[in-house]
């Protein structure tokens, strides 16, 4: 990103020329890739021209003024369609920007378009998008991951230099791993959720996707910080991009939970992650075997809570105020028909599951019990950081799988096997590329740290990036 900023500073290129180059990449690759739901060519070029005028007058809004960005299509953008990859919202144009989008505009970043996702962010492959699957740039027969698959694929394919995604159970890190890019799930509350269409408010978090650790840190610095419009926002100070010091790794204690290296883990994924761990150890880090046994219950806990919250959040889509509306003789029939027409199969499945676990006869056995287990998981995770500085695991059990390979929803849910724990405990976690398998598919390594330790995460991720690729 610094190279693009330097080109703009030294007049080697204009923002309009840079945006045009990315639009050309989109036009060339989108027929096969399908990373975008909406491309705002006219709007992006207008924003680029405004950035060029600001720079010519010596009043650039930030060093990154004029560098375009893609935004996941469940993040509100004023006047620009925000569909959540659902037919229910296919014509919805918000009247306001999400706080993170407002932050991007204040930094001068032209929004080049809205990226594809699983409908309402419910999925791990973008196969549940109403607008078709996003294909993996490294192998078009494979998924890009989800739910932020469009953002990860767009960055990996060079259709955008960076992008925003959202992560509820792994939806930034998993597609980042599958597509060979860097993706961060920040600490819960570090980034405002105002204007982000909710899936599970106690788990959702907006985060950056980019090709390098430094670019990811720069983008995080633009969106992090408190927001009075978001009740869950933290009062933590805005983030500053760290200085990259390779010596800091000496004496760094890295927790290695053996529960993440057992049955179901692809052999080549394990080899790549252990190779990275050995490289960090050779540079002075200390590998500490730890136990995170409660991860065994993370997926079940996550699915119980996310479906319950989704059922509640999606109750507002009733065909009355906005979105799909099917005419009927009475209101109950209209509600039923509108939701049946507007929602896809996975959304309907999760609404029904969530309604079930929240029902009076099952609330105590499922939802209340899941909240108790979540507390145990959080305690387990935080206790580990009393022993170590960071925890390192594979990001996903396997490389990107083939489109259509996981027809059973339970198999799809297991894609979040290693990532859901960070959401349940609210800690930050980052996925960094750590090589490729024998088929040329990218592999990812996950680094987790305690609350608001993003700077530490980026420093360790930078060392992984330099030593494992």
| Contact indicator for 47, 64 with CB cutoff of 8 Å | no
Taking the CA atoms of 142, 461, 185 and 45 in sequence, report the sign of the dihedral they define.
negative
Measured distance CA(3)–CA(7) in Å, rounded: 6
DSSP 159-184: S-SEEEEE-SSSTTHHHHHHHT-EEE
Closest CA relative to residue 131, chosen from 144, 141, 117, 147: 117
Residue 211 DSSP class: S
- Per the residue annotation, which of 72, 114, 406, 459 is the catalytic one? 72
Pairing verdict, β 182-185 and 206-210: antiparallel
Query: Can 147 be counted among the known catalytic residues?
Result: yes
Which tokens belong to 394? Answer: 């594979």
The pLDDT value recorded for residue 409 is 86
Catalytic residue (one of 76, 124, 147, 192)? 147
Residue carrying structure tokens 């924003």: 47
Residue ranges of the chain with per-residue pLDDT less than 70: 469
Write the pLDDT tens digit of every residue in 315-344.
999 888 778 888 888 888 988 889 999 999
Give pLDDT, residue 330.
86
In the chain the domains, ranked by start, together with CATH numbers, are 1-292+378-406+418-469 (3.90.1300.10)
Alpha-carbon distance of 352 to 350, in angstroms, equals: 5
Q: What are phi and psi of 164, to 5 degrees?
A: -105, 140
pTM of the predicted protein model: 0.96
Q: Which of 15, 144, 171, 192 is catalytic?
A: 171
Find the largest Cα–Cα distance for the chain: 72
63-89 pLDDT per residue, tens: 999 999 999 999 999 999 999 999 999
According to the model, what pLDDT value does residue 323 have? 84
Distance CA 324, CA 318 (A): 8
Residues 6 or more apart in contact with residue 225 via CB below 8 angstroms? 103, 191, 192, 236, 237, 238, 239
């Amino acid at each position: 990103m610094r190279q693009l900023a330097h080109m703009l500073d030294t007049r080697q290129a204009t923002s309009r020329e840079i945006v045009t180059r990315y639009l050309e990449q989109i036009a060339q690759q989108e027929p096969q890739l399908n990373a975008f739901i909406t491309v705002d060519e006219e709007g992006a070029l207008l924003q680029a021209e405004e950035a060029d005028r600001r720079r010519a007058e010596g009043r650039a809004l930030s060093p990154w003024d004029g560098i375009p960005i893609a935004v996941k299509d469940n993040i509100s953008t004023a006047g620009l369609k925000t569909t959540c990859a659902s037919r229910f919202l296919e014509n919805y144009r918000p009247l306001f920007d999400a706080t993170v989008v407002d932050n991007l505009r204040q930094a001068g970043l032209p929004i080049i378009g809205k990226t594809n996702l699983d409908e309402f962010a419910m999925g791990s492959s973008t196969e549940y998008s109403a607008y078709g699957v996003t294909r993996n740039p490294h192998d078009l027969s494979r998924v890009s991951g989800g739910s932020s698959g469009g953002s990860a694929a767009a960055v990996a394919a060079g259709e955008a230099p960076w992008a925003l995604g959202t992560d509820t159970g792994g939806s930034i890190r998993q597609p980042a791993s599958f597509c060979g890019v860097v993706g961060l799930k920040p600490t819960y509350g570090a980034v405002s959720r105002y204007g982000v269409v909710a899936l599970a408010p106690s788990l959702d978090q907006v985060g950056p996707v980019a090709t390098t650790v430094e670019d990811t840190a720069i983008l995080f610095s633009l969106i992090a910080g408190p927001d009075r419009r978001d009740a869950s926002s933290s009062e933590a100070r805005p983030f500053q991009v760290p200085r990259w010091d390779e010596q800091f790794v000496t004496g760094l204690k890295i927790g290695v939970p053996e529960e993440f290296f057992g049955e179901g883990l692809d052999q080549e994924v394990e080899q790549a992650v252990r190779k990275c761990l050995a490289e960090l150890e050779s540079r002075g880090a200390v590998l500490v075997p730890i136990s995170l046994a409660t991860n065994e219950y993370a997926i079940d806990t996550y699915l119980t809570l996310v479906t319950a919250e989704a059922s509640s959040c999606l109750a507002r889509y009733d065909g009355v105020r906005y979105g799909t509306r099917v005419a009927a003789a009475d209101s109950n029939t209209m509600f039923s028909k509108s939701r049946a027409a507007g929602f896809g199969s996975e959304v309907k499945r999760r609404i029904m599951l969530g309604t079930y676990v929240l029902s009076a006869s099952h609330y105590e056995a499922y939802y209340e019990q899941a909240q108790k287990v979540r507390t145990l998981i959080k305690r387990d995770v935080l206790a580990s950081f009393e022993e170590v500085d960071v925890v390192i695991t594979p990001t996903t059990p396997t490389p990107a799988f083939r489109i259509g390979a996981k027809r059973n929803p339970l198999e799809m849910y297991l894609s979040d096997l290693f990532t859901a724990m960070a959401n349940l405990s609210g800690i930050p976690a980052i996925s960094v590329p750590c090589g490729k398998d024998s088929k040329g598919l990218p592999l990812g390594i996950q680094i987790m740290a305690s609350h608001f330790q993003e700077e530490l995460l980026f420093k360790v991720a930078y060392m992984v990036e330099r030593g494992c690729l």
